Each structure stands twice: as C-alpha cells, then as structure tokens.
Structure 1
Amino acid sequence: MKKVLIITYYWPPAGGIGVHRCLKFAKYLREFGWEPIICTAENPEYPVLDESNFKDVPAGIIVLKTRIWEPYNLFKFITGKKKEERIHNVFLEEEKHTIAHKVGIWIRGNIFIPDARKFWIKPTAKFLINYLKENHVDVLFTNGPPHTNHMIAYKIKRKLNIPWHADFQDPWTQVDYFPQLMLNPISRKIHEAMEQRVFKYADKITICSETWKKDLESIGAKDVGIIVWGYDEDDFKNIHVELSPKFTLSHYGSLGPDRNARTLWKACSIIAKENKQFANDLEIELAGFIGHAILNEIESFGLKNNLTLFEHLSRKETLLRMHRSQVLLLILNNMPNVNGRLPGKLFEYLASRRPILVIGPEESDASKIVHTVNAGYTCNFNDLEKTIITIKNLYEKYKRGLLLPNKSDISQYSNRSLTKKLSEFLNHIVSK
C-alpha cells in the first residue's frame, strides 16, 4: 500500500469544521490503496474541542507530533483577554475593534507570516526531513489554512524532492479577510512570494470550488483540481428525530459582520407584522459565535422573542438539530469572492435532506449546487421582495406539511467519493 504523509495542524481533539477535511480523507484513504501517516502539533491552541472526532481516526495509524509555540497568549495580553479564553477568528471577535485589537491584527498580518502557526515550520520540517530519510512515503499532502502546513512541505520538497499535493480549503492571498490584515507592502510581497512557492513546487494543487479554482489560476497556479467539502455517510446513519413544531429557520456556525442577513431579518419582521400566526410560529435558531451587531439588528426588527441562541453545540447535537429544523439557512459572506465560497455546512445540510435557503448570489457556486440537486432556494443579499415571497412560500408549505425531505442523489459529495477523487490525484502525481 502506498503511503501519504498528511501534514495538518488540525487533528482531534480539534473541533469545528476545519478538522474534518484531513480527518475524513485519512478515514477513507485505505479503501483506495493509500496508508495515511499524520503529522500534527503536540500542543496546539484549538478554538473548539470535540473528543468525538477521535472515532474517525483509523485504527493503528501513525500520528507524529511536534511541539509548537503559538503567540495567542501575546495576543490575549495585547487585547486584554483572559489567558484561559480561546481565540476564534480575530475578525469575528469584535465588530468595533479597539486600538489594542487593531494592533493585534497588525502583528498577526505583518509579523506572523504566513500565519500565527509560523513557529511550527522550522522544527517540524527538520523533524520530518530526518524522519523521511529513514521512513519512506510516496507523497506529501498539506491543507491550508493554516498555510504554515504548506511551508513545511515546501521545505521537505526542496530537500528530499518527494511529490507534494497542496490542498486549499480557503484561498491564501485571495481569501476574504486578507485585506483586513493591514499589511504593509513588504509583508504583502512576502505572503505573495510564499504562495507562489506553493504554485511552483507542488506537483498538484486542489481547492474546494470552481470559482476559486479560476481565481487561483489567474495568479499563476497550474492545473488546479477541485475537491469540495463533503459529508460523511456514517455521521448521518440512524438519526431519527421529529421535525420542530415551530417554523424554524436555523443556521449552524459563526456569523460575523460579513454574514449579517439584514434583508432576511427585515423580511421576517414585515411578515410577522402582517400575520400574527407567523409571528407565533417563527423561530430563528442560531448556533455558534454570533456577532453583537447581528443580535442587535434582529432585536431591532422586533424578533427578539423569535430568537433561540446556542453558543456552542456538540457535533452530535448539531446534526440532530439540522434534521429537526424546517429550513436550514446558508448565509454566505457578503464579500467580493463570495461566489467561490462553499461552506462545509452546505454538504451536511444536503445530507440532512432538509430544505436550504441560501442568502447570497444566484450565481454563486453554493447556490448552483443547491439548485442542481433541487435542495432549496436562493435570495440575494439585498433582494427584499424575493426574500419576502420565498419566506411566505416556505411558511405556507410548513403549514400544509409540505416541507418534505429532498431525495436527490448527492453521493458525489460523500467523503468516501471525494477521497476516491483525492486518491486518483495522488496516484497520478506519483506515477509521473
């Protein structure tokens, strides 16, 4: 069996969506003739922990761990946060950033390049180069962000010339928050130069959407493949729950300033004022980190009594609630690169078989997938008229018991199918 060394910062007990890309690949690679070996951090600073992810780690797998020094205690000191607090995306922490917070972001963008895990690069590359001299692998696989993973593989590639597959779950210099890093010209050039090294030295590059593939190729990446996020069939077995008696509009995951569905809240408010029964039936369910501006806006539209908040749900509870919800909200980032944004939750929404309401452009990759498999509806960010019509239509179906499960074939998005696609890419680059 051929061997692939997966270099990934995120590994169980990490929680959240980011850990699932490499974890699910590792889970299924053996079925396609590849033995995964994992290299991860020994003492990472994960924003979310979820011990249940250990169930997907293949039995007997080799997991190599190296120590990492992370600057989050420094960031906490600068921004006045408690030492025990876990740091989420720094751009979600506060809508109105304090001077200290801005200083922290400036340091993050200009000093910690490519990211806050940069101090993992040299010791891990050194360790792995020595390890690989004694232990053969056929290919390296890295996923970013954090793009530190790619820089480790770059050093190994230059030293040992092992084939390398670089995967992007999000872009690097084209990611939506890149302009917010407050980069000076020199720092920007360093980021761009590192990114170009990946394009030059990786034997294969993949990214998770068609639009972002074209974006990468526009800045020099060659022959970019697509591996979307997916869902694991095992996670959706034996889930039997009754639908909520309320007209639930549910979103699972962080909602920052760029994901404030103002038009949706306004539409619900208008309908609620017209229809008291709708006002009684409506439940807006949000789970995860929700920005204060969003909560304030929902309250300003008179929907405070319709709002149910969950700061954090376990993965098991999240999947149960997805199946229980009448309508699942997929609120895209209202940012220039939104058309390529394919949130991981989309594919788990599809697997739950509940109707999906996309808030974002009709031409986005997410919207195209939802419509291709007849899984739901799309309303653009500012289209109030269509949003009102769509919500009324969904509500009428809810009242008539016609919000039925979608039965379209979505097997192409299963983690098993996507891992097969990955294995084909790996086979190709080792046979060159």
Structure 2
Amino acid sequence: KQSITDKFAIWIRGNFFIPDARALWINPSVKYLSKYLKENHVDAILSDGPPHTNTAIACKLSKKFNIPWLADFQDPWTQVDYYKLLKLTKWADKKHKKMEQQVFKVASKITIASPSWKKDIESIGAKNVDVIYWGYDEDDFINRKVEPSDKFVISHAGLLGFDRLPDVFFKVLHDLKNEIDGFSNNLSICLAGNIDYSVVDCIKDNKLLENTTLYGNVNREKALDLTVNSNVLLLPLNKADNAMGRIPGKLFEYIASRKPILCLGPNNGDVYKIITPLNCGQSFEYNDYNGIKKFIGKQFSEYSMKINNIKNTNLEEYSVKNQTKKIAEYLSEIIKK
C-alpha cells in the first residue's frame, strides 16, 4: 500500500522528471557527446530504452548531427502499463507525447520487444518498426548441470507482484494435494526474487507454505540453475492493458531450458504465439481453473513416470546471437540510405 509520501514522490517524478528519473542526464550527455561526435566519425546511433532518457539523448544527437539512428524500445513509452499510474498533469502528459512523437519523426528505424507492441506504437505514428526479442544466451546452457530434485518442482525466478498474483493457480495446487496420491509429499514450489505480501498470503491461505521455498533475491547463475532443474516453469504476465505484448525476458531462458512452461496471461497473446508452435508449454487465462489443473496434473504424471516431452529444437530464432544479427542488419540498412 502506498503512503502519502509515496504518492507525492510518484507525482513529482511523473510531472517534473520527464521522461523519467534520469532526465537531468539529458543536457550534460548531449553536450559531452556532441564534443565527441565533432571529433570522431560515427556511422549510426543505437539507443535502448527505457529509461527513455537514453532515447531523448539519442534523438537530440541524431537530429543535431544528421546521423542515422536506430531507437530500440524494450517497453513502450506512453503506452507502457505503468504510465497511467504516474499521476500526470495534462501539461506533463502532453510533453511526454510530444517527445515520443519527435522520436518517431527523427528515428531512421525503430525496434520493439513484441509484435503486439509493434502494432500499438504504429497506431500512434511510429514508422519502419520491427521486433527484436530479448532472446537467450546459448553460452548460459552449454555446460550447465542438470541435477533434478526428487521433488515435483514448480519454480519462478524474478519479481512476483500483486499484478501477477496467481490465485487460481494456487487453488489448483491446494486441490490437487487432496486429490492425487503423492502430490502433497512431492510438491515443491520454489520462488526466487521479490515476492509481494499478497502472493505470500495466498500461499498461506491455500495451505501451501509447507511446500514452498522463498529464496529471496538470488544471482543470475542460481536463477538459471533453478530453471533447468524444475519440472514446471511458471510465467505469470502482468494483469495490464498491454499484456498481449508482454514477453518477459525469462521466457527465452525458459524455452532454452527445455522444461514445460505454464504461462498465465491473455489468450492468443504474444507469449502464446511463441510457445505453442514450439510445443514447450501452454498459456491459460488467470482464472482458467480447469485448464491449469489439467496441465499440472499431466506434468505431475510425466514427472512420476520420469518423462520429459519437451524436445523442441527450433530455438535458434530466439538466440541472442540471431537477435543481434538482426540489429546489425538494420544498422547496415539505415547507414546505406
């Protein structure tokens, strides 16, 4: 719950630090980099945002020096899910949108993290837009040891906030403990990262605390070890207006681990469209009790028989190597124009 101080801080941040809390970097960075660009030849500029301070800096430099610019968006700007929570005045909202439109006008090429978000920003004026996924690093999985637990491990590594509360999923686990022999004794829910109190309360309410390990924050290596040694990988998406296009970076590590993925989010969203052809998991609406229950029951049955049916081999499209290759191709294109 937000205190009055928290709400005031959000209002200050949204209305006086535009586009974000790093806004004071813009002018000094433009001044410093302008000196560099006067003395050194640069073929193209690549920026990555958020923070959209990066985007604003690149926009000013591209316009000032007439250098081709690829603007990458890992999240949208004014269409991002938390934009409505910034408590913006009409003046601040207008300034955000004016800066965003300037980016669309100046950028030679725009990339964004999902197909749905591509359509969203095109609907407000973005041109020459393509998708660049987060991707997975092949080196992360080359020599990683797979040492599965004796337990039926369902894991999630990362932030699990109130806007991703999987209440029906926990209800399913509660019911399966009472319905399937051996499920209660073998179930192990492993959660790493910051967990909202509402999620912990839901675990307690469903009598799952005895089956749950809360690791707190862990390093990347520990998170990857947890991923490859799980039986089911939980992927809850934000309950937000733009969830159709929400593709968490961990999805690609999940895919590379070749373990079953249980996604909770909108039907026919971008995650669904990725995992379905790869046959590496299923996606359900948050309230799809029967679908989630059937999926978990099937995975527990395969765990009991020591079966892993995830044998997808067509992963290369989503590797960091291939995503980086696409960026290089886009940069070459805008340099030649």
Shorter-chain TM-score category?
A: over 0.9
**Quick one: which of 289, 296, 299 aligns to 2:204?**
299
2:259 equivalent in structure 1:
354
Greater share of helix = 2
Q: Which amino acid aligns with 1:213?
A: K
Distance 2:188 2:300 in 1: 12
1:253 equivalent in structure 2:
158
Distance 2:312 2:284 in 1: 22
Q: Is the 8 A contact 2:108 2:128 kept in 1?
A: no
Q: CA deviation at 1:338?
A: 0.5
Q: CA deviation at 1:160?
A: 0.8
Residues 380-431 of structure 1 deviation map (CA, whole Å, 9 limit, x = unaligned): 1111111111111111111111134433210011111111111110010000
Q: Percent identity?
A: 48
1:375 equivalent in structure 2:
280
Q: Which amino acid aligns with 1:275?
A: I
**Quick one: which of 217, 235, 238 aligns to 1:333?**
238
2:134 equivalent in structure 1:
229
Q: Is the 8 A contact 1:244 1:326 kept in 2?
A: no
1:209 aligns with 2:114: yes
1:198 aligns with 2:103: yes
Tell me, which stretches of 5 or more residues in structure 2 are unaligned?
none
Q: So what's the TM-score if we normalise by structure 2? A: 0.98
Tell me, which stretches of 5 or more residues in structure 1 are unaligned?
1-95
2:220 equivalent in structure 1:
315
Q: Which amino acid aligns with 1:205?
A: I
Distance 1:105 1:374 in 2: 42
Q: CA deviation at 1:186?
A: 0.9
SS at match of 1:171: coil
1:153 aligns with 2:34: no
Distance 1:159 1:331 in 2: 43
2:270 equivalent in structure 1:
365
Q: Is the 8 A contact 1:289 1:311 kept in 2?
A: yes
SS at match of 1:381: coil
Residues 156-186 of structure 1 deviation map (CA, whole Å, 9 limit, x = unaligned): 1221111110000110111111111111111
Distance 1:269 1:111 in 2: 47
RMSD: 1.1
1:426 aligns with 2:331: yes
Q: CA deviation at 1:309?
A: 0.9
1:77 equivalent in structure 2:
none
Distance 1:391 1:110 in 2: 46
Distance 2:79 2:329 in 1: 27
Q: Is the 8 A contact 1:322 1:328 kept in 2?
A: yes
Q: Is the 8 A contact 1:362 1:368 kept in 2?
A: no
**Quick one: which of 205, 208, 219 aligns to 2:124?**
219
Q: Is the 8 A contact 2:279 2:310 kept in 1?
A: no
1:280 aligns with 2:185: yes
Distance 1:169 1:189 in 2: 22
